């Protein structure tokens, strides 16, 4: 059975990722778009979620591709209307919001899915399997990109709830929490805030590994050279390097796998499977690390940022 879906928020990520993934999956039919400023050819358009819910009661699933600050209100309204909900990452601007949505979905008997697209990169399962039989000695995350390239003119990322450099950094944390065979927790964070912004532009994180491994992450949004999304691991039996955000994996310096960008296609396949099973997926472990970073982080002022 094909599920009728509405996409809320028609920005860059919706056009680049969500719409192609939906059209490429026979389990889904994109029936409507909700946006005040944009439309999608060939589907119903509504300016507000209220208009959608009033005029298209046949739509079963709502996918939210909007900034995290207003997401709770939209998600809660859709859940109360009996709709299944997909949440673009991060699933909310606070843990309390996310837990409240999880409880509401359970109460309404519908599916909710906190999507972490980087977990669905091609090489992530391979690194997880490789690590499952090894002892980690050192793990280093380097997630460095140019905010002007990936978020041109988007002011919401610099406002409270927008998370700043943790908007991409949480992608790395979603991979970390997926591939590790155990839990780790944050012990220290250094956060660099532009003096004219409310969220950080760079962060250095240190984790406590139960086995004593040296584990850290370095996020930076000022990187103008080659974009870097790497995880390097040294173990008792060899080393691994996953790059391109999970599309390329090297083992002991030799290419083991090179994939392609299937992340959002895999997300919508996962959502279809959740609906068929009558289940939800609201893993918040990446979000916990971000909240801990803001709680533990030592704040350092740096140069103003302007687009």
Distance in angstroms (rounded) separating the CA atoms of residues 281 and 242: 25
Choose the catalytic residue: 4, 83, 89, 144.
89
Distance in angstroms (rounded) separating the CA atoms of residues 73 and 58: 21
Phi and psi based region of residue 245 (left: phi greater than 0; alpha: psi -120 to 50; beta: remaining): left
Q: What is the dihedral of CA 99, 281, 16, 226, to 10 degrees?
A: 80
Helical pair 95-108 and 285-296, crossing angle rounded to 10 deg: 150
State yes or no: is 204 an active-site residue.
no
Distance in angstroms (rounded) separating the CA atoms of residues 23 and 121: 19
Catalytic residues: 89
């Amino acid at each position: 059975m094909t599920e009728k879906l509405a996409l809320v928020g028609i920005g860059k990520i919706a056009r680049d990722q969500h719409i192609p993934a939906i059209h490429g999956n026979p389990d889904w039919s994109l029936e409507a778009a909700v946006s005040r400023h944009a439309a999608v050819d060939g589907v119903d358009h509504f300016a507000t979620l209220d208009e959608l819910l009033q005029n298209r009661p046949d739509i079963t699933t709502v996918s939210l591709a909007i900034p995290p600050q207003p997401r709770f209100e939209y998600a809660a309204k859709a859940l109360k209307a009996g709709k299944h909900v997909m949440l673009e990452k991060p699933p909310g601007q606070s843990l309390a919001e996310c837990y409240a949505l999880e409880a509401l979905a359970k109460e309404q008997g519908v599916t909710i899915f906190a999507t972490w697209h980087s977990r669905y990169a091609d090489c992530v399962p391979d690194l997880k399997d490789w690590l499952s039989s090894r002892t980690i000695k050192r793990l280093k995350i380097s997630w460095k990109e140019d905010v002007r390239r990936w978020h041109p003119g988007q002011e919401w990322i610099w406002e409270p709830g927008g998370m700043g450099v943790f908007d991409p950094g949480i992608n790395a944390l979603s991979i970390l929490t997926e591939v590790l065979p155990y839990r780790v927790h944050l012990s220290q964070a250094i956060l660099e805030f532009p003096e004219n912004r409310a969220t950080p532009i760079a962060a250095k994180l240190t984790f406590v590994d139960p086995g004593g491994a040296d584990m850290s992450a370095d996020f930076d949004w000022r990187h103008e050279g080659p974009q870097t999304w790497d995880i390097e691991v040294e173990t008792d039996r060899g080393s691994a390097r996953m790059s391109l955000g999970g599309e390329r994996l090297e083992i002991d310096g030799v290419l083991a796998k090179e994939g392609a960008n299937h992340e959002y296609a895999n997300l919508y396949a996962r959502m279809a499977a959740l609906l068929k099973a009558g289940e939800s997926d609201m893993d918040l472990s990446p979000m916990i690390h971000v909240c801990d970073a803001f709680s533990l982080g030592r704040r350092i002022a740096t140069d103003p940022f302007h687009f």
